[in-house]
Structure 1
Amino acid sequence: MTDTTLPSPASRQLLVEHARTVAEQADRHAVTLESMLAVLRAGRLDDRAARILATEIATTALVDLRMVTDQQRSRMLEPVVGAFARLRTDLHPLVRYGDLDVQFVEPPTTGRALPGEVAHAARAIVRSAVLAFVDKGETRRVRIQWDCDGLNLLIGIRDDGRGDLTMHDDSLRPIAEQVRSLDGTLAVDATPGWGSSLDIRLPLDPPNEPEPLVDSVPLSLRERDVLRLVVSGARNREIGRRLSISENTVKFHVSNLLRKAGARSRAELTALAKG
């Protein structure tokens, strides 16, 4: 049966924002490349000065790209059914070319959409778990089930192997680390002669990072933007470029931030912001 469920307004908004971000990034890349070409072709700059300036332009662009990529990855959503279908595709070679019988228990079509980071990690965790089972040498059948309780992605993986898998098994270490990085939980249950099972819970809403300064000091939206870039290490000129404001305006906001935070320097302001 074809799923004709329309995306929610929130999902549509995220798709619109993603398209806008992609277009903006394309424009930024074009400007970056044009700037680098202009610098490299500039007759008034010697080779060394041109290389230094071009490298600075490229470095700034890369930092900006990584920031946007991280934000997009955390904000994009994948329908739970679509994310599970991608998992089936990932495991297709094992099913088609190996002796492994993989049973997929489809998640409910009404399940909440998964944040991109959770969906990506969930597929990686399942792939690693299946390979861990196969490496034991006696696994012939694996059952994979996903469910969603509205707050968590629930993953169940069971095999028909020797049933000697434990939390201390080396093959589970990467899985445990990934689960912990997402503030999730991992449980292992094994019955000798009957197989092993993994039960994994991944929160769909990661815990908010503490922002002591933002929580304790009233800041305008622009001051928050400036503070974020100050904490990242950007200087006034770079902050002005990213926020499309003058360097003098940046200095004004930084001065206000120092006064409100009771800080004597940018380093102290950064330390207070990081808590």
Structure 2
Amino acid sequence: MVTGDWALRLATTTADEVLPRLSAALQDKVPHRWAAALVAGRISVTSADYDGDRPSADELAALAALAVPGHPWHKPVALSGTTRPALVTTTAGPWAPGSLLVLADATDSVDTEHAYPAVQCGWELAAALLYHSGPSPTTAAERFFAGEHAKQLLIARNTHAATLQALLATLRSRRLDDAQARQVATGIASTALTALRTASAAQECTAERAFTLLTEQLRPLVLHTDVDLETVPPEAAERLLPAPVGEAATAVARGCVLAMLEHTRPHRIRVAWQVTDDQLVLDVRDDGDCTSFPRYQGEYRMRERLASLGGDFSMDTVPGWGTTLTVRIPLVLPPSTDVELLRELSPREREVMAELARGRTNPQIAEHLHVSEHTVKFHVRQILSKLGVRTRGEAAALGRAARL
């Protein structure tokens, strides 16, 4: 267990030294290469010999969602885009709720009877010190936008990875000479920049349009390779998809295809969407080496991506047949749990906020609600003040999160 002397040294150190000292103190119990922590939305990483990318907030949040407070566990996890063995635990005490500790590249030979209590005891103290060492989101609006920021970072990372993969496939292709490769690579980069500059803020689009956009992102990945990409569009082409549903399906499909191309060496990949009365069903399968597919990494990322939408997934890896991923996303978004976002608003202000969430201007809101534009401006100012946000766009985002 953690000694009183060690606890005193930990409690009197600076915040930057808390995790390094905890890591050093636990080395004899759980030998590991480096440590990472997620406390109050802040990431800490420490190790003298760790020179890789920092684990993302999405990866650590996914691990925190899987962990049982007060019960450490040890198995391969996805960190810094790689599957590696790790010991993971979250706090059970009230001083730093939900704080995550990961001892990465941890040895399998651990005396769990003695090591786990030491890890948990040390982490409860260290997490409490880290929790109170800096600011954390306090209002509903701050927590919401912190989460939205993490989601947008994940989308940007996946898009960036797809573009880089397409560029690498082009530059490595033996079918193209140098001039042709440069021309194709320039086209890919130009298309990516155009998409970045003209990213749509639409709240919904048809299933056909969403699938077409996905296909346009996937084609360059295999254009100059020996991989055959088959895309099967949904039959209910004109069915409208809520923006979060289309974004989630696109991100999952793109991430899965990237993982297959990078790890399983497939000859064929098939991506299909099917839209029913109440859900979007996504099916991605390949004929590659399923034992090389980063299963844990894929599961963590999909679980995190689908949780807020009420979606689920299954993954089958059959030797000789490849990997099959099936995702189901409800078309009706689940009720929002962010009720406190609306608690301070009057009934009329909620109506105005719902119109903001639909992207309507002040004149359009005034016409729809049969009030003057001056009245709408007054309600908008009140909404911004009560929610603690600065712009109409932020208020609209909160309204969409509350399913107005």
TM-score by length of 1: 0.51
Residue of structure 1 equivalent to 2:263: 136
Give me the whole-angstrom Cα distance separating, in 1, the residues matched to 2:261 and 2:340: 49
Give me the whole-angstrom Cα distance separating, in 2, the residues matched to 1:201 and 1:122: 9
Aligned alpha-carbon RMSD (Å): 4.1
Residue of structure 1 equivalent to 2:32: none
Call closer, same or farther: CA 1:224–1:139 in 2, change over 3 Å. Answer: same
Amino acid at match of 2:283: G
The answer on whether the counterparts of 1:167 and 1:188 sit within 8 Å (CA) in structure 2 is no
Q: Deviations over 1:33-77 (max 9, x none)?
A: xxxxxxxxxxxxxxxxxxxxxxxxxxxxxx9xx9xxx9xx88722
Structure 1 position 148 matched with structure 2 position 238: no
**Alignment partner of 2:243 out of 90, 101, 116:** 116
Give me the whole-angstrom Cα distance separating, in 1, the residues matched to 2:323 and 2:336: 35
Structure 1 position 85 matched with structure 2 position 212: yes
Call closer, same or farther: CA 1:138–1:220 in 2, change over 3 Å. Answer: closer
The answer on whether the counterparts of 1:184 and 1:203 sit within 8 Å (CA) in structure 2 is yes
Call closer, same or farther: CA 1:242–1:97 in 2, change over 3 Å. Answer: farther
Amino acid at match of 2:284: I
Residue of structure 1 equivalent to 2:284: 157
Give me the whole-angstrom Cα distance separating, in 2, the residues matched to 1:124 and 1:223: 32
SS at match of 1:169: helix
Call closer, same or farther: CA 1:181–1:164 in 2, change over 3 Å. Answer: farther
Q: Deviations over 1:64-116 (max 9, x none)?
A: xx9xxx9xx88722111111111111011112122221111121144521112
SS at match of 1:108: coil
Residue of structure 2 equivalent to 1:51: none
SS at match of 2:290: coil
Give me the whole-angstrom Cα distance separating, in 2, the residues matched to 1:212 and 1:149: 30
Aligned counterparts, 1:160-199, within 5 A: 160-164=287-291, 168-199=295-326
SS at match of 2:272: strand
**Alignment partner of 2:336 out of 205, 209, 221:** 209
Residue of structure 2 equivalent to 1:245: 378
SS at match of 1:197: strand
Give me the whole-angstrom Cα distance separating, in 2, the residues matched to 1:243 and 1:185: 41
Displacement of 1:141 in angstroms is 0.6
TM-score by length of 2: 0.36
Amino acid at match of 2:211: F
The answer on whether the counterparts of 1:112 and 1:150 sit within 8 Å (CA) in structure 2 is no
Call closer, same or farther: CA 1:107–1:217 in 2, change over 3 Å. Answer: same
Residue of structure 2 equivalent to 1:125: 252
Call closer, same or farther: CA 1:157–1:183 in 2, change over 3 Å. Answer: same
Q: Deviations over 1:107-130 (max 9, x none)?
A: 114452111222122111111000
Identity of aligned residues (%): 27
Displacement of 1:203 in angstroms is 1.4
Number of aligned pairs? Answer: 170
Give me the whole-angstrom Cα distance separating, in 1, the residues matched to 2:256 and 2:375: 43
SS at match of 1:120: helix
Give me the whole-angstrom Cα distance separating, in 2, the residues matched to 1:175 and 1:138: 21
Give me the whole-angstrom Cα distance separating, in 2, the residues matched to 1:216 and 1:245: 19
The answer on whether the counterparts of 1:165 and 1:196 sit within 8 Å (CA) in structure 2 is no
Displacement of 1:210 in angstroms is 4.3
Where in structure 2 are there 5+ consecutive unaligned residues?
1-144, 153-199, 354-373, 387-404
Where in structure 1 are there 5+ consecutive unaligned residues?
1-62, 227-240, 255-275
Displacement of 1:186 in angstroms is 1.1
SS at match of 2:280: strand
SS at match of 1:94: helix
Select the structure that is richer in helix. Answer: 1
Residue of structure 1 equivalent to 2:53: none
**Alignment partner of 1:100 out of 227, 230, 237:** 227
SS at match of 1:97: coil
The answer on whether the counterparts of 2:230 and 2:271 sit within 8 Å (CA) in structure 1 is yes
Give me the whole-angstrom Cα distance separating, in 1, the residues matched to 2:293 and 2:322: 11
Give me the whole-angstrom Cα distance separating, in 1, the residues matched to 2:228 and 2:263: 15
Amino acid at match of 2:378: I
Give me the whole-angstrom Cα distance separating, in 1, the residues matched to 2:338 and 2:251: 30
